Amino acid sequence: MPDPLLFTPLRIRNCELRNRIVVSPMCQYQAVDGHMQDWHFIHHGRLVLGGPAAVFVEATGVTRHGRITHGCTGIYDDTHIAGLRRIADLHHKYGALSGIQLAHAGRRASATRPWDGARALTAADGEEPWGTVGPSPLPEKDGNPVPHPLTEAEIDEIVQSFVAAAWRALAAGFDIVEVHGAHGYLLHSFFSPIANQRTDQFGGSLENRMRLPLMVTAAIRRVWPEDKPLFYRVSAIDGVEGGVTIEDTVALARQLKSIGVDVVDCSSGGIAGSVTLSGRRLKPGFQVPYAAAVRRGANIATMAVGAILDGPQAEQILAAGDADLIALGRELLADPNWPFHAAEALKIENPYAVLPKYYGFYLERRAAVLDR
């Protein structure tokens, strides 16, 4: 009997994922001046030992002021490469592909950490705030500082910052780069008519609002090796009246495919603040329909994310043709051995092989003699 789709390998360009389980980028807010710390090494070790196919490093700032908080990781200086390489090497040692999400926080930068309210940073917080940027002088929330609207020359500088970050990601040994175009951060804010009220070539029409996301992605694709995958994360809908629609995102996905993006990672929301901090009740798999719509509408591989809780649910998503990859975040924080438990639930022939042999050997031997 063939393995379930969740445990079927997938080849993207010259990289083979051993299954369809991906560790989603999860901000840890533990960096110092953008540098990785022991916390990150332990965090990634905990996750990679569970047996996923790929593990992503969190949203990583391509400029110092492109970070969300002072605790965010950075890739804006060559001194960041060594710490990032340590993480990529760890992923590789235990059989996973290594990915990194390149990001600029835009008008959502200069914030306190989520457990401190994820609000605009002030000097009273004990850390120096900095000026934010965006497409238009529109703050995310009333009372937040007004972002500086980027000039075209400044936009070009940010594009080059993404390119420089891609070079550093290559030097650090990553297999996959994901461009962060979601959750209200800079590229999403240019794409969304809620945040973008420009009247130049970067605002107004859908074509103009797609311009910066496509410029950044095309520039990265030109320097990112042809044999390595490129992902792009979208907020498929804004969920706010007058915001991005799924039709807009399908149109963007078609353009992304034409410039060499391999997988669209389908999230949602964020243009008016964090979905998980909004008080909204979320149903399991609430974002899967967006991955399905983009996959079918743009004929591109997609990654589903958002309250995917167990193996049978993940398998159903793949079997229905709604996505090609399953990304997990908080569920892996709760259970880093989720892939093993999914393998058991889906009754693959040898679920112990999902884990490193140093774990699987002992669990299999115990199972053979355990009287339940």
Point out the residues that are catalytic. 185
Residue of 64, 243, 278, 212 lying closest to 138 (CA atoms): 243
CA angle 78, 81, 86 (to 5 degrees): 165
Give the list of residues 6+ apart from residue 334 with CB closer than 8 angstroms, or none. none
User: What backbone torsions phi and psi does residue 208 show, to the nearest 5 degrees?
Assistant: -70, -40
> What's the Cα-to-Cα distance from 372 to each of 172, 268, 349, 350, 364, rounded to whole Å?
47, 44, 20, 19, 15
C-beta separation of 104 from 187 below 8 A = yes
Q: Which two tokens stand for residue 95?
A: 């059989």
3-class secondary-structure state, position 248: helix
Distance, CA of 321 to CA of 301 (rounded, Å): 10
Distance, CA of 231 to CA of 234 (rounded, Å): 10
Bridge partners (DSSP) of residue 32 are 35
End-to-end CA distance of the chain: 26
3-class secondary-structure state, position 2: coil
